[in-house]
Amino acid sequence: MRSGNFKVAYKTIRESKWQSSLTMFGIVVGIVSVVTIVSLGQGIKRQIVGEIKSVGSDLITVRAGKGVKRDADGNIQKISPDFVYGFGSGTLNDRDVAIVEGSLGVKDATPIRLLNGSVIADGREYGDGFVLGTNPSLPNLIQQKLEYGSYFTTGETSRQVAVIGKSVAEELFQENVPLGQVVTIRGQDFIVRGVFEKFNSNPLGQGIDLNKAIFVPTTSLKEVAGTAAPVVRVLARPQNPKNAGDLAKQISSSIKDSHGGQDDTTVLLQSENLQVTSSVLDKLTGFIAAIAAISLVVGGIGIMNIMLVSVSERTREIGVRKAVGATNRQIRNQFMAEAIVLSVLGGIVGIIASFVLNFLIRVTTDLTPVITWPVVIVAAVVSVSVGIIFGTIPAVKAARKDPIDALRIGN
C-alpha cells in the first residue's frame, strides 16, 4: 500500500513533466545554493586553516592594543575584527621588542616594522606594496623559503639590502633577474639580494599579501624612515613548542609590568588565531547559508502551490477514489506521497547538481569548495521535510473533499 502510493505518485508526476520539473526546480535551486555556499565556506576555511597551520601553531604574535577578550582560563571569547584582518592601528615600542627578545625560552624573535608608500626601481614606481623591517630570523619564524638568493644575515642588519616578494619581483623587474638590482626606498638605495617563494600563508593577519612586501633589515629601515616605520608586530617562537602557551602568558605579563600594570597589548598564539578565524568563517558561512535557505522555503511554497492546483484539478478523481472505498487517510497519503516524491526528486537532482557545480567551480576558479557528508545529509533531510511540511495542507484538503460534490464537478 505504502510503496503503491509512491509508485502512483511517481507515475502522476511523470505524466505532467513540465509542471513537475518546474516545481522541482525550486527545490533544486534551494539545495544547490545551500550546499554550494556551505561547501565554499568549508573550502575557504580548510584553505585558511591550512595556511595558518603551515606557519606552525606555536608562533607567538605580540601586537599593540586590546582586541581580544579572554575568559578566566585564558580562552578567547571574543576578538575584534581589527585583529583578524590587516595590520591594525596600534604600535609597539623598542622596549616591548626587547622584552620579547629577552624572554626566557624564546628561540627566535623579530620585530616587524611597517613602512607604507611606494618604492622605485629602474625608474618604475611600485605603489601596491609595503616595506617590512625584520630581523634575519624571519624566514625561520614563519617557515618560508627563498626562491633565489638568500635572506640577510645577522652581520648585515644595518646594511641596505632587501629581499622581495614574488609579486614585487614580477612587477618591478619583469623578466630581468632581480638579484643585484636596486630599489629606492625614501630616496635610499637598497640592493635586492633574494626573492621569496610565493607565500601561501598570512602569518601577520588575513588580507596581508606578503608577496607584495619588500623585506629589509629592521635597523636600516629605522635609519631610513625613523618614526614613519613603527613596530606593528613582534613575532617569537619558543624553544620548546609545548611551552608556547606558557611563554605567551609570560611575555604578556612582562609587557604589562613594563607598561606600569596597564594591559594594553595582545599576545596571540597561532593556534588561537586558527580557532578565532575558523569561528568567524563558520558564522559567516552559516549566515549566508541561512539566506540561501530562503530559496528552499520558496521552493516549498512552489510545491504547495502545485499540489493545491493538482488537488482541485483532480477533484473528480478524488470523488471516484472515495466512491470505490478510499478513506480520507488513503487519499491524504496519496497526495502526501506525491509531494514527498517531488521534493525528494528535487533533493536528489539538487545534490547531483551541487557536485557538478562544485566540479565546475574547482575547474574554472582557484576556489576549492568542499562538500562534506553532513551537508549532503542535511540537504536530503531538508528536501524530505519540505515535501512533508508543504504537502500536508493540500493533502488534507484533498482528503476532506466531499465525495458527492467531488463527483458532481465536471459532470
Contact call for residue 187 and other proteins (CB under 8 A): no
Shortest spacing between CB 407 and other proteins, in angstroms: 7
Q: Binding residue for other proteins (CB under 8 A) from 56, 67, 105, 403?
A: 403
Q: Does residue 327 touch other proteins according to CB under 8 A?
A: yes
Residue 409 binds other proteins (CB under 8 A): no
**Least Å from the CB of residue 296 to other proteins:** 30
Exposed, middle or buried: residue 98 (CB in 10 Å: 0-12, 13-18, 19+)? middle
How many CB atoms neighbour CB 71 within 10 A? 9
- Residue 326 binds to other proteins (criterion: CB under 8 A): yes
Q: How far is the CB of 5 from other proteins (least distance, A)?
A: 9
SS3 letters across the chain: CHHHHHHHHHHHHHHCHHHHHHHHHHHHHHHHHHHHHHHHHHHHHHHHHHHHHHHCCCCEEEEECCCEEECCCCCEEEECHHHCECCCCCCECHHHHHHHHHCCCEEEEEEEEEEECCEEECCEEECCCEEEEECCCHHHHCCCCEEEECCCCHHHCCCCEEEECHHHHHHHHCCCCCCCCEEEECCEEEEEEEEECCCCCCCCCECCCHHHEEEEEHHHHHHHHHHHCCEEEEEEEECCHHHHHHHHHHHHHHHHHHCCCCCCEEEEEHHHHHHHHHHHHHHHHHHHHHHHHHHHHHHHHHHHHHHHHHHHHCHHHHHHHHHCCCCHHHHHHHHHHHHHHHHHHHHHHHHHHHHHHHHHHHHHCCCCCCCCHHHHHHHHHHHHHHHHHHHHHHHHHHHCCCHHHHHHCCC
Stretch that binds other proteins, among 8-16, 35-43, 101-109, 191-199 (CB under 8 A): 8-16
Q: Of the two residues 12 and 383, which places its CB atom closer to other proteins in the complex?
A: 12
Interface stretch with other proteins, choices 11-19, 92-100, 176-184, 216-224 (CB under 8 A): 11-19
Tell me: does residue 321 bind other proteins (CB under 8 A): yes
Assess 316 for contact with other proteins (CB under 8 A): yes
Scanning 9-17, 105-113, 127-135, 285-293 for contacts with other proteins by CB under 8 A, the matching segment is 9-17
334/358 with CB nearer other proteins: 334
User: Does residue 11 interact with other proteins by CB under 8 A?
Assistant: yes
Q: Tell me the one-letter amino acid at 361.
A: I
Q: Does 404 engage in binding with other proteins (CB under 8 A)? A: yes
Answer for which of 319, 346, 347, 369 binds other proteins (CB under 8 A) is 319
The nearest distance, CB 374 to other proteins, in angstroms, is 38
Pick the closer one to other proteins by CB: 253 or 327: 327
Q: Nearer to other proteins by C-beta: 4 or 180?
A: 4
Binding-site string for other proteins from residue 125 to residue 164, where x marks contact by CB under 8 A and - marks none: ----------------------------------------
197 touches other proteins (CB under 8 A)? no
Residue 324 within binding range of other proteins, rule CB under 8 A: yes
Minimum CB distance to other proteins smaller for 110 or for 310: 310
- In angstroms, the Cα distances linking 195 to 36, 108, 192, 291 are 38, 22, 8, 44
* CB of 155 closer than 8 Å to CB of 239: no
Q: What are phi and psi of 369, to 5 degrees?
A: -65, 145
Q: How many residues bind other proteins (CB under 8 A)?
A: 24
15, 71, 73, 366: which one binds other proteins (CB under 8 A):
15
Q: Rule CB under 8 A: is residue 290 a binding residue for other proteins?
A: no
User: Which of residues 239, 262, 328, 365 is near other proteins by CB under 8 A?
Assistant: 328
Q: Which of 17, 145, 242, 329 binds other proteins (CB under 8 A)?
A: 329
Footprint of other proteins (CB under 8 A): 1, 4, 11-12, 15, 316-317, 319-330, 403-404, 407, 410-411
